[in-house]
Amino acid sequence: MSTTEIAELRRTIGQLRQCVGALRSRYGDASAVRRLANDVERLDIDAGDLDETKVPAQAKPVDRSNVVVVPDTPYDPSLWQGADDEGVGGYQRDQR
């Protein structure tokens, strides 16, 4: 984030803090107000972390030549003939 974006974020968090303070004056120590205050504090901590973080280099473009396309069509049921469902147990076999 640029310094302008960080400054705007900090300003907005400050406005949120003021709004939560006004809500606290009106509703007292209600659980919803406490959660909002906690959320604003978390936003402030996260904004501080962003401010200290270096901007990562641009991601490299994806090499599409190695992409394997998997079709959405159903698989042939005979592929699973005789296989067990993991976690469910084996198929009932004819015990004659």
Q: What percent of the chain has pLDDT over 70?
A: 82
Q: What pLDDT is stored for residue 57 in this prediction?
A: 67
Neighbouring C-alpha atoms within 13 Å toward the C-beta of 63? 2
CA distance 38 to 30: 12
Phi, psi of 89 (to 5 degrees): 105, 175
What is the mean predicted confidence (pLDDT) over 4-13? 93
User: Which residue ranges make up each domain of the chain?
Assistant: 3-52
What is the mean predicted confidence (pLDDT) over 73-91? 75
Q: What is the pTM of this model?
A: 0.54
Write out pLDDT tens, residues 33-51.
Answer: 999 999 999 999 999 998 8
